Amino acid sequence: MEPRTLFERIDRDVPGYDLDAWKEEERQRRIARHEAFHRIANERAWQATEGLQTEDVRVFCECGHVKCTRMLLLPRAEVARIHERGDVFIITHGHELPDLERVIESTLDYVVVEKVGLGQLVALEAIGDRPIYD
């Protein structure tokens, strides 16, 4: 069967090129960037409401599912504690991606996951490893 795309032709013609490995790396990068986007949105919402004396804060689910629009309600202190590291995300139960992240905490209301591998590097590059919470 003749290759249909340029990448398939490269995969066939270039020694050492692995299209499947490239696709998997791109998947990991895309998911990590999506999670970082929600994490940054949550950080900005936090900063915008810093002056308010609310005990709880609504956060976007920071999962890698593109169509996810879930919101979670957590104590402000919990969000600050969880977000001390740039490679840790708050997600809804059932949104875990076991091949890309590891569950490090689970409550009745949410799950905390740590990115691993390439996704961890992408997340730390996008978010950094700096606390923004006081």
pLDDT string in tens for the chain (134-residue length): 565 665 555 555 555 667 778 888 898 889 999 999 999 999 888 888 777 777 888 999 999 998 999 999 999 889 989 998 889 999 999 999 999 999 999 999 999 999 999 888 888 888 876 656 55
- Grouping H, G, I as helix, E, B as strand and the rest as coil, residue 57 is strand
Q: Contact, 90 vs 62, CB < 8 A?
A: yes
pTM of the model: 0.79
Q: Which of 6, 86, 2 is nearest to 42 (CA)?
A: 86
Nearest to 89 by CA among 40, 17, 28: 40
* Residue of 113, 112, 92 lying closest to 101 (CA atoms): 113
CA distance 9 to 101: 32
Rg of the chain taking only CA atoms, in angstroms: 18
Question: By three-state DSSP, how is residue 61 classified?
Answer: coil
